[in-house]
Amino acid sequence: MRARPDQDMVAEGNAQFSRGTMRISADRMSYEQANDLAHATGKVRVTRDGNTYTGPELQLKVERFEGYFLRPTYFFSRTQAGGSAERIDFIGEQLTVATGATYTSCLVDGSDGSTPDWILSADRVKLDFANNEGIAQGAVLRFYGVPILGAPVLSFPLSDERKSGWLPPSIDLDNKSGLQVSVPYYWNIAPNRDATLTPAIISKRGAGLDTEFRYLEPGHEGRLDLNLLPNDRLAGITRSALNIEQEGVVFGNTRYRTNLMRVSDDDYWKDLPRGINSLTPRLLLGDAQVASDFADWTTYARVERWQVLQDPASPLPAPYDRLPQLGVRTWQQLRGGLELGVEAEVNRFVNPDGHLPELNPDGTPATPRPLGSRLHAQGSLAWPFGTPGWTLTPKVLLNAASYRLDQPLPDGRTQYSHVIPTFSLDSAWVLERDTTLFGKSVRQTMEPRLFYVNTPYREQNGLPNFDSAEKDFNFDSIYTENGFSGADRVSDAHQLTAGVTTRVIDAGDGSETLRLGVAQRFLFQDQRITPDEQPITQSVSDLLLTGSSSMLKHWKLDAALQYSPETHQTVRSIVGVRYSPGPYRTINTNYRLKRGESEQFEVGWQWPLYGRPGQSSDRGGRCTGAWYTVGRINYSMKDSRITDSVVGFEYDAGCWIGRVVAKRLSTSQQDATTTLGFELELVGLSRLGTNPLKVLKDNIPGYRLLRDDPAATAASPTTP
């Protein structure tokens, strides 16, 4: 080291310089104190904020961070990717310009003449950190040497913050519409508002435009989606789908919410399923509601209208519109431990416009449905008491309803009212003991429960049924007072439900390793209010059995069974088995039976076929590969056909991932929609093509992303 005080110094041989978070090392380094200028040559290495630059020569004004780096290579820790350049010019803390730059996450030394699997090259790249913008001129993306994407000027964000610009194209293929190519444009309107405009070309149908607008204001938020296909060549009409969601708070404690989903025609859900974001694609809801809280009371108002997409081959029952629905409810804890619950509501029920099936499923003409208004009130008073080991809860309930109908009942009445009382008594225990099972310390519980209900019979079978339906018979509904949902039907009852559940809990981590349960209802008199209006005369209900276990390593078992003691047959059963021996290895099987209606077998999986799962590269830094198969198949044993399926393959090359996924959904007994999706994920950069990950996560239980946190998207033009 040579130095002149207050002027300069020169260091040779593994020289190192540091200031703040920046570190510089080189074979030779000089520093001019007057100009704050550092000059390094020979194996120069710079580390700053987790990023690394290496090259033969660096000149830098340290405090102002101005200078240049010749022929550098670089690596960004956040994206786990990097590249090289002919020259990098640092123009202050917030601006950097690279000339002849490349970028890839496939890091190879090049000594054997090999090239990265994918590489992005540009004539000039400007990185403006102050404006969160990168601009690449003459950018070309090559995959195995083949140009797959190019642009004279390419703009992209430099962080997770949003930025306006074009996103990578998306490609879809299905048997109804053919090839669809769309290129989204993201518009960052303001910090609390944005929009995505997606023009698309559909080979069989024509050109369309999808629009999404989102906003977030103090106390309000919402989104608007509009998909428009001006001239569908196959259908000969204009196709559209509209989805509006908005909610917020006004006047202090008044909440409001609106939700509207509408499509242009009945066949939209079959022809263009991507435009419908609903779990019930043939039942589209439009509603607006508002609610306010005053002390312990909540008042609410709602308007509800449905669009029902009818198919002549499979008519769908339409729910009633509510125009309007007004109500008030409360739940209060009174003195002495009493609990009071009250709900009162008035509804006006009308039919959806033009969406009622003209024929019944059996082909007979449909009977006109009754219309009218209903005022109902439900109140309960409960007095729970007990200890942590047991509880006893007596409860009294009242169900009152008054009807005013537009058409008379068969007996000529247009008005009717009733009040139905119910008494219930719920007794539950939780007994515990510490023991050992297979050499492990566990805690076992025994949880018996008795539930008594007494509801007198009131004639209701001739009344209109606006919103009541039979509750699913399971371990939750068997311990409820009413066998119906809604307010139009109250089941008469004089019955006792008895059940017991036992659980085995690991004493170490508290996880439940075994659960077994049984429950049955005992009827002391015939039940006359039933879904099919046929009395239940048997003295005992079907027997419910349930069980789940994770005692076997890597195995998870679930089963539920409904057994009829009258017919000595299983009425319904669900049996599921999951085998997961490690990451990216899972197989699920499910068997579902509903006697006389359906019998289905389902299998889903994610499993490696070849290669080393989770292994991204070998010792030489070269990307290796692993093949995976993913899928789910639902087979109807009653109809002897596959009702829906998802099958795909994934290839993880370490620095890129390829996916091909086919999805088939039955829309009728004879028709189905098949969609084929492709995706190329360049780790550290972007995803190109259709994004099938949502399909995989929604359809395959236990599916795990090959990249749990793809850092690439942060610096990618695909990330808004």
How far the first Cα of the chain sits from its last, in Å, is 50
717 — pLDDT class (breaks 50, 70, 90): very low
- Scan for tokens 């669900």, then name that residue: 574
Closest CA to 717 of 679, 682, 678: 682
- The whole-number average pLDDT for the span 640-660 is 90
* Alpha carbon distance 360, 524 (integer Å): 37
DSSP H or E segment with residue 9 = strand 8-19
pLDDT value at position 171? 84
- The whole-number average pLDDT for the span 41-69 is 89
Between 647 and 712, where is the model more confident?
647
- What are 296-354's pLDDT values in tens digits? 899 999 999 999 998 877 778 889 999 999 999 999 999 888 999 999 999 999 988 76
* Alpha carbon distance 480, 424 (integer Å): 9
The pLDDT mean for the chain works out to 87
| Most distant CA atoms of the chain, gap in Å | 114
33 — pLDDT class (breaks 50, 70, 90): confident
Between 378 and 152, where is the model more confident?
378
pLDDT value at position 617? 42
Q: Is the pLDDT of residue 562 over 70?
A: yes
Give the chain's length. Answer: 720
82 — pLDDT class (breaks 50, 70, 90): confident
- What are 221-244's pLDDT values in tens digits? 999 999 999 999 999 999 999 999
Closest CA to 338 of 392, 383, 379: 383
Beta strands in 309-354 (DSSP E): 321-333, 339-350
Q: Is the pLDDT of residue 719 over 80?
A: no
- The whole-number average pLDDT for the span 51-63 is 90
Homologous superfamily assigned to 2-158:
Lipopolysaccharide (LPS) transport protein A like domain (2.60.450.10)
Per-range mean pLDDT, top range of 52-66, 138-152, 166-180, 206-220: 206-220
pLDDT value at position 354? 67
Q: Is the pLDDT of residue 358 over 90?
A: no
The ranges assigned to domains in the chain are 2-158, 379-551, 583-720
pLDDT value at position 513? 92
CA geometry: angle 352, 358, 363, nearest 5 deg: 140
- What are 488-503's pLDDT values in tens digits? 999 999 999 999 999 9
Give the contacts of 387 (CB within 8 A, at least 6 positions apart).
Answer: none
- The whole-number average pLDDT for the span 374-392 is 94
pLDDT value at position 704? 85
Share above pLDDT 90 across residues of the chain, in percent, rounded to a whole number: 53
Between 534 and 288, where is the model more confident?
288
* Alpha carbon distance 657, 686 (integer Å): 11
CA geometry: angle 464, 467, 471, nearest 5 deg: 115
Q: Is the pLDDT of residue 104 over 50?
A: yes
pLDDT value at position 213? 96
Closest CA to 311 of 372, 270, 352: 270
DSSP state of 711: G
pLDDT value at position 690? 75
675 — pLDDT class (breaks 50, 70, 90): confident
Contact 141, 156 (CB under 8 A): no
Q: Is the pLDDT of residue 621 over 80?
A: no
Give the pairing type, strands 415-429 and 440-455. Answer: antiparallel
- The whole-number average pLDDT for the span 461-473 is 89
pLDDT value at position 229? 95
Between 415 and 715, where is the model more confident?
415
Query: 24-28, 139-143, 170-174, 348-352 — which is least confidently predicted?
Result: 170-174
